[in-house]
Each structure stands twice: as structure tokens, then as C-alpha cells.
């Protein structure tokens, strides 16, 4: 079992407000480390503590076996699934599920998890080799079977990987929504779309609701390396059901809480009231899933009452909490305060903290990409040109070279103008759409150590022919 990490919380903000200001912005950096001294706080009180309980782990591998997977895609998916099985630790329980119009157990045959012994892994790989492709796509049913498998409460780390190459055309949006509602909080799911026929919005919704990541693997030949890396990261997780607890004093209102690194996730609507009937200050939990050794950044915004010069207040307190063992009270692993202080000194109160400004621009970049691509697909070239031009400007300003390069495959730049290209590879559109939510950069000059690697967008090889 991996070492349980120590958690630390740092607050990056400019706490000084003009006398008429009421919004407080802060970047909340949560760091989980194993076997290293805790990082010092940057601009606020900081505390850290070891995670309080060991966890066992469970893994479910979900492979799309619908008719569109026939041929090379299924062969490569089988190899990837076998590699994923090989990458499992011996102390993990696992299962393999095939998904088409329904969900079916591949290994074991019964609806249960099996230990990842050498014998069990070999049996699973034999079963994977026998998969065939037929039928349609009902992702909600696949996820519901995974949830049933995870219902054994003794598993702390509950992680699934889902691979698909198509759209969820054989169940309604309402059916998928209901399945996601039933699965939320029961396990974390990372998603992969292979080829260029799937809908990024669908997998983004699955990954967002189930606190995972998603990426495109345009070339099926890259699946094995991607799955091996993805399972390797999952095997490095050590703490489950981690939540950010945000306390705000009376008359302070939380506007939003968004994860901004390593992937963008709006957590605002996921709030669970800690004391929903309490009459005192508000406290809410925001689920963040499973953690290993990594860093994540969150953008917090609260509204405070108008203050007077030199008045100071605690605008919010952010804590990292996990459930206690065997039904005991939750354990606080780290916490830090967000501050507000009013001043008539314009030099102090002018401008936001550089980290807040950096992530705000990245969010604008993501929104511009999303809006531009939506307009492009709808044939609205004027809006697409405007939004993608803005995206290009922001990508260059924030140093997002990968996004700039992908944009150049979708838009043409001539005499200062940016306009959509007439003929764009569907894989390039999907890669750019995926990047709009799944790729984020740390502020300039900050090290990337301890950060979980981002899912890499795997392009098609240049010598590939079109996929049918």
C-alpha cells in the first residue's frame, strides 16, 4: 500500500480591498506529499496532518464493445485492457466490464470484484481476448454496473476507467443523468475517447460528475501506453473521499469554488451543507475524490460586507477533511484562512494576486475555446472567428503553446485576422474541445513538482489513413 500523504493548504491572494469593494478572490492550493517535509504557507495560516486511515483499493475497467469498435480499435482496446490488468497491485480487487447496449461482466463472470492475484490476472486477460464488438452504446448502464461492483464498502479507493469510441445514442440524456446521479460519490471515473466519433461533452459530463479526468486518444495504437499510465496513477492514490470544507462567517456569501489545476472543474454546485439547519455561519463540503502525491489549485470567491479602512476580517476558512474510520467523526487534515482587509492605500488594493489573475485568464481562454467551437459546429463563422481569435490571444499571453498549436489546425491567421478553416480534421476539433477543460498551466515561474501528470491528448500518426 502506498504511504498516506500529508496535506497542506496555502492561500494565494491579495487581501487588501478598496473601501467600497465586496469581492474577495483567492487561490487555494492543496498539496499532498509523502515522505517529504510539508511546504511552508505562502500568505496565511497553514496546518498539515497525516491522513488518518488506511484504504484498500478497487478498480473496474470498462471497455466499449459496441459495433463501431470492430477491427483495430477492439484489438488495441483489448491490449490496453490487458496492460491495465497487469498494472494492478496485488492488494487490489478488480473487475472488467464490457459495454454495448447493456453492460456485461467479462471477469469475473459474477457481479463481484476479484483479487488481483497472478492467477486472477491471467484469467482476466484470457476473457478479454474473447471480446467481440456488436450492438449500441449505453454508457449509463455501464456505469451503473460499476457502481454495483463498488458497493462493497470496505474499499477506500474506488476507481474506474471507461473507454468508448462513440456517442451515447442508445439511451436518453435523462437516463444518463439518472445513472450519473446514482454513481456520484460512489467511485471516481477517468474516461478516454478513442478515434474522432465520440462527443467530448458526454465524456466531460461523466468525468466531471464522477470527479475524474478525460482525454482523447485519436490513434488506437496509443491506448496501451495510455491505460498503463492511467492505472499507474490510480495505483498511487492513497486517500479516498477527500472534501474541501469551506466555512464562511455571518453575512459572507460564497460565490464560487472552482478547481483550476490540473483540470478545470466547477465545484460550486456540488456543495453539501454540513449543518443545513444551523443558524450560525455557513459550512459546506465540496467533494474532490481520491488523492495521491499531487497538487491541486482552487479559485475561491466570496462576497463580504462593505468595510472601513484598516478593518480586517476572516472571509473564509478552507479545510481538507476525510471521513473518520468505522463511522467516527471526520478528520481534518489541513486548513488555512482567507483574509480581507480594507484600505485607502491604492497601491495596496490595486490589482489581484498574480495567481488569481493567471487562472482567471486561463478560465477566459477555456470559455473562449468552448464558445468558439460551439459556434463553429453550428456554422456561425462570425462568432467562431471572434471567440477563437480571443482564445488565440489568451493562449499566447498565458504561454499555452500547446493550445496555440492546436488552434492553428482549426483556424487560419492572415493579415491579423483569425478565421475558421473550411476543412478541419474531426480529431483536431475533439483535441481542442478536450483541451478547453482538461489542460491547465500553473502560474509562470512555479515548479510543476508533485503535480499529477495531465492526460495527454494522443494525436493520430501522420501516416494514418482515415478511420471508418
Phi, psi angle pair for 360, to nearest 5°: -65, -40
Q: Is the CB of residue 216 less than 8 Å from the CB of residue 195? A: no
CA distance to 26, 263, 296, 316, per residue, from 302 (Å): 9, 22, 20, 8
Burial of 269 from C-beta contacts in 10 A (0-12 / 13-18 / 19+): exposed
Q: Is the CB of residue 142 less than 8 Å from the CB of residue 164? A: no
Go through 153-173 and write b for each residue having 16 or more CB atoms within 10 A of its CB, e for each that does not: eebbbbbbbbbbbbbbebbee
What span, in angstroms and rounded, lies between the C-alpha atoms of 233 and 454? 11
The candidate with the shortest Cα–Cα distance to 76, out of 221, 225, 230, is 221
What span, in angstroms and rounded, lies between the C-alpha atoms of 151 and 155? 9
Question: Is the previous residue joined to 106 through a cis bond, with omega within 30 degrees of 0?
Answer: no
Q: Which grid coordinates are listed for 374? A: 460551439
What predicted TM-score, i.e. pTM, was given to this entire model? 0.88
pLDDT in single tens digits along all 468 residues of the chain: 446 689 999 999 999 999 889 999 999 999 999 754 433 333 333 334 333 333 489 999 999 999 999 999 999 999 999 999 999 999 999 999 999 999 999 999 999 999 999 999 999 999 999 999 999 999 999 999 999 999 976 788 999 999 999 889 899 999 999 999 999 999 999 999 998 888 888 999 999 999 999 998 988 999 999 999 999 999 999 999 999 999 999 999 999 999 999 999 999 999 999 976 666 679 999 999 999 999 999 999 999 999 999 999 999 999 999 988 777 889 999 999 999 999 998 888 888 899 999 999 999 999 999 999 999 989 998 999 999 999 989 998 888 888 888 899 988 887 767 788 888 888 888 888 888 888 788 888 776 554 455 555 555 544 443 333
Residue 369's Cα: distance from chain center in Å?
A: 18
Amino acid at each position: 500500500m502506498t504511504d498516506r500523504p500529508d496535506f497542506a493548504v496555502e492561500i494565494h491572494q491579495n487581501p487588501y480591498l478598496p473601501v467600497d469593494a465586496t469581492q474577495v478572490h483567492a487561490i487555494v492550493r492543496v498539496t499532498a506529499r509523502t515522505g517529504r517535509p510539508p511546504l511552508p504557507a505562502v500568505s496565511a495560516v497553514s496546518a498539515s496532518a497525516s491522513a488518518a486511515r488506511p484504504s484498500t483499493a478497487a478498480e473496474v475497467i470498462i471497455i466499449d464493445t459496441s459495433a463501431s469498435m470492430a477491427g483495430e480499435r477492439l484489438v488495441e482496446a483489448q491490449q490496453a485492457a490487458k496492460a491495465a490488468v497487469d498494472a494492478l497491485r496485488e492488494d487490489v480487487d478488480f473487475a472488467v466490464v464490457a459495454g454495448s447496449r447493456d453492460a456485461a461482466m467479462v471477469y469475473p463472470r459474477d457481479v463481484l470484484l476479484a483479487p488481483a492475484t497472478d492467477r486472477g490476472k491471467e484469467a482476466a486477460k484470457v476473457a478479454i481476448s474473447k471480446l467481440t464488438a456488436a450492438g449500441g452504446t449505453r454508457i449509463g448502464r455501464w456505469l451503473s454496473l460499476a457502481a454495483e461492483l463498488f458497493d462493497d464498502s470496505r474499499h477506500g479507493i474506488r476507481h474506474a476507467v471507461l473507454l468508448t469510441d462513440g456517442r451515447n445514442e442508445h439511451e436518453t440524456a435523462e437516463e444518463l443523468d439518472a445513472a450519473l446521479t446514482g454513481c456520484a460519490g460512489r467511485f471516481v471515473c477517468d474516461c478516454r475517447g478513442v478515434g474522432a466519433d465520440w462527443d467530448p461533452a458526454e465524456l466531460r459530463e461523466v468525468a466531471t460528475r464522477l470527479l475524474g479526468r478525460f482525454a482523447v486518444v485519436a490513434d488506437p495504437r496509443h491506448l496501451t501506453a495510455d491505460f498503463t499510465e492511467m492505472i499507474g496513477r490510480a495505483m498511487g492514490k492513497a486517500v479516498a473521499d477527500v472534501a474541501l470544507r469551506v466555512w464562511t462567517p455571518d453575512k459572507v456569501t460564497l460565490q464560487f469554488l472552482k478547481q483550476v489545476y490540473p483540470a478545470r472543474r466547477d465545484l460550486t454546485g456540488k456543495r453539501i451543507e454540513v449543518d443545513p439547519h444551523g443558524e450560525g455561519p455557513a459550512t459546506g463540503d465540496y467533494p474532490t475524490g481520491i488523492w495521491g502525491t499531487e497538487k491541486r489549485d482552487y479559485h475561491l470567491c466570496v462576497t463580504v460586507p462593505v468595510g472601513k479602512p484598516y478593518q480586517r476580517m476572516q472571509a473564509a476558512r478552507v479545510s481538507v477533511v476525510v471521513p473518520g474510520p468505522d463511522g467516527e467523526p471526520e478528520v481534518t487534515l489541513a486548513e488555512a484562512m482567507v483574509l480581507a482587509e480594507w484600505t485607502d492605500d491604492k497601491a495596496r488594493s490595486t490589482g489581484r494576486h498574480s495567481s488569481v489573475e493567471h487562472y482567471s485568464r486561463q478560465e477566459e481562454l477555456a470559455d473562449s475555446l468552448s464558445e468558439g467551437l460551439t459556434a463553429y459546429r453550428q456554422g456561425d463563422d462570425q462568432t467562431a472567428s471572434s471567440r477563437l481569435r480571443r482564445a488565440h490571444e489568451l493562449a499566447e499571453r498565458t504561454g499555452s503553446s500547446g493550445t496555440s498549436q492546436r488552434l492553428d489546425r482549426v483556424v487560419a491567421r492572415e493579415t491579423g485576422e483569425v478565421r475558421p478553416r473550411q476543412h478541419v480534421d474531426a480529431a483536431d476539433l475533439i483535441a481542442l474541445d478536450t483541451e478547453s477543460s482538461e489542460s491547465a498551466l500553473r502560474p509562470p515561474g512555479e515548479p510543476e513538482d508533485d503535480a499529477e501528470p495531465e492526460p495527454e491528448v494522443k494525436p493520430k500518426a501522420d501516416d494514418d489513413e482515415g478511420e471508418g
